[in-house]
Amino acid sequence: MLSNACKYAIRSILYLAINSSEDNKIGVKIIAEELETPQPFLAKLLQQLTRDKLVSSTKGPNGGFYLNEKNLNNAVWDVIISIDGTDKFDNCFLGLAKCDDRNPCPVHFIVSPFKEKILGSFRDKTIEEYVVEIQNTNRVISLKDLDLFEDEGS
């Protein structure tokens, strides 16, 4: 439903929203390490997001990526549009040429409400609101540094 590229991009922008500011810019290297993503690939994605004015950047010493006030008011959906486009979301779960209520595939009415819900979240909430929610409800965008105990038998 989302490409790896897009997943990296979403987590990156949330990471920047949480950790960066105009006078605390962060380089790709750090971001890639923290999110455990391939560094040069992520660089490409951040460049793309910068071109689309979803993140801000400056070059040179103390340079790096960050989000300004305007960037914080964008939505996750904007990131998806920038990286993946909307197609993947609109497609039928079983590969029909069209996903719609009039000619529903066997799982359409399971998939469709989910899509509405997650699309709503991506589209109607700002990055800033996402951050508040992440912090209030202890959500994670990386598993680095977390104790991951394996599922032991019951």
- The CA distance from 71 to 110, in Å, is 34
Does position 68 interact with DNA (CB under 7 A)? The reply is: no
Smallest separation, CB 102 to ligand FES (Å): 9
- Residue 153 contacts which entry, DNA, ligand FES, its own copies, none (Cβ below 5-8 A, type-dependent): none
- The CA distance from 79 to 55, in Å, is 10
CA torsion angle for 62, 64, 68, 74 (degrees, to 10)?
A: -170
SS3 106: coil
Does position 40 interact with DNA (CB under 7 A)? The reply is: yes
Interface map 74-113 toward ligand FES (x if CB under 6 A): ------------------xxx-x--x----xx-xx--xx-
- Residue 39 contacts which entry, DNA, ligand FES, its own copies, none (Cβ below 5-8 A, type-dependent): DNA
Largest CA distance in the chain: 57
